[in-house]
Amino acid sequence: MQGTTAQEPATPGTTPPPYPRTDRTIPTRSPQRASYDRDLVHAILDEAYVCHLGFVRDGAPVVLPTLFGRVGDRLYVHGSTGSRPLRMTGQAPEGLPVCVTVTHVDGLVLARSAFHHSINYRSVMIHGLAHDVTDPTEKREALDALVNHAIPGRAADSRPANKKELAATAVIRLDLTEVSAKARTGGVNDEPEDLTLPHWAGVIPVHRTYGTPLPDPDLAPGTELPAYLGEL
């Protein structure tokens, strides 16, 4: 599902510039695992269904799992107009400080030593200010991107939001400016003196798979499974 949902400014033959490194995007630990590559960041984001949105409420952190969409270097989150972070964003004229993180678990790394157990993963962390989306055209595009993010091509094959639904939905935008990816790949890193230990060591790959689609019992007669679902 990677890389299929967002409209990129397509300039053939050019490599997009990496995201700039900042104090907040250089990891304290394992900085060699960090990347600022724009295509890699976008691919990790696009493969995820849920992001974890962090914000501060009364001085304490809150981490909320939520759906999201992406249009180029803009990330969109939506929700009810009553939702706390969306309401807080609407009330913050300069934007609400947020951190959005997306993580994929790709494998379990079993070392001979407890200390060197790890996981293979890919993650993206975005720092910035979330802003309320008030422009009706941008709001529609963002909602389409949210639906297409989960199921590429789906927005065009569903009834668009009506006036009442649009009014009940708030959308916030986070620009991708302060962004990093981090990943661990590969095998086991045991100490040389542990290699002869009798414990099994290796990697267990972890995948995401899809079950057989479960049609709604009230489906209009003759409605067939759309082709785009076969590409998940």
**134/167 with CB nearer a copy of itself:** 167
Does the CA dihedral 57-127-161-4 come out positive or negative?
negative
> Does residue 226 touch a copy of itself according to CB under 8 A?
yes
> Does residue 211 touch a copy of itself according to CB under 8 A?
yes
**16/119 with CB nearer a copy of itself:** 119
Site for a copy of itself in 145-184 (CB under 8 A): 146-147, 150-151, 154-155, 157-162, 165, 169
Smallest separation (angstroms) from a copy of itself to the CB of 177:
14
Quick one: which of 56, 88, 71, 36 has its CA closest to 149? 71
The binder of a copy of itself chosen from 125, 174, 176, 179 (CB under 8 A): 125
Beta-carbon contacts of 104 under 8 Å, excluding residues fewer than 6 positions away, are 44, 47, 48, 121, 122, 123
Beta-carbon contacts of 193 under 8 Å, excluding residues fewer than 6 positions away, are none
Contact 15, 21 (CB under 8 A): no
Region from 3-11, 12-20, 69-77, 186-194 binding a copy of itself, contact rule CB under 8 A: 186-194
Per-residue burial over 90-101, b if 16 or more Cβ lie within 10 Å, else e, is beeeebbebbbb
**21/208 with CB nearer a copy of itself:** 208
Binding flags for a copy of itself, 69-108, as an x/- string (CB under 8 A):
----------xx-xxx------------xxxxx-x-x-xx
Smallest separation (angstroms) from a copy of itself to the CB of 9:
25
The binder of a copy of itself chosen from 31, 117, 134, 185 (CB under 8 A): 117
**CA 149 to CA 151: how far, in whole Å?**
6
